[in-house]
Amino acid sequence: MRLMIVLSLLINVAVLVPVCAGLLTNASWTASAYGEATPARAILLSVYMAIGLCSVLLLFRRDPKTVAALLLVQVLYKATTPLTVGTVNNPVVVSNLIVAAFHAATLASLWTGGALGRSADDRPGGEARAPDQSPDPTADRIQR
C-alpha cells in the first residue's frame, strides 16, 4: 500500500515536470498535444503545477486520506477526458487513462488495506452525536 502511494506520487511528478516545462516554454510538441497557447491552456498549466506541488509535498508527508483525495480528483478528471476531448486518439488522453488506471489501483489498495478508515461522523447505529456536540471528546470536557 505504501509502495503504491509512493509510485502514484512519483508518476505524477515524472509526468508533470516535463509537461509543465513544455507548457511554460511553449515547446513545439505542446501545440499538437494541448493546442495553441491560450488562457485555457494556461489555466490547465496552473492545475498541473498544483497537482505536481501537492504530489511532491505528499512524498514527504504521506497521509493516506490526503493522498486519496488528490488521486480521486485525478482519476475522475482523467477518466472523463475522452468524453470532454471527444477522442482517445490524443496523447494526453491516452496518458491520462493510463495514469488514472494506476491511481485507481492505488485507491483500491488504500481502501482494501483499511488506510482510509472511518470518518469522525461514521458511527455505528445509536451513537449519533447531538448537533452541538463536538466530535472531539477532549473539546467537550474543556467546554464544560
pLDDT in tens, 10-50: 999 999 999 999 999 999 999 999 999 999 999 999 999 99
Number of domains in the chain: 1
Length of the chain: 144
Residue pair 103/8 in contact by the 8 Å Cβ criterion: yes
pTM of the model: 0.79
pLDDT in tens, 59-115: 999 899 999 999 999 999 999 999 999 999 999 999 999 999 999 999 999 999 887
Q: How far apart are CA 82 and CA 97, in angstroms?
A: 9
Q: Is there a domain that residue 6 lies in?
A: yes
What's the pLDDT at 60?
96
Task: Please name the residues in contact with 96: beta carbons below 8 A apart, sequence gap of 6 or more.
Answer: 77, 78, 79, 81
Q: Is there a domain that residue 128 lies in?
A: no
Q: Is there a domain that residue 94 lies in?
A: yes
By residue range, what is the domain housing residue 20?
Answer: 2-116
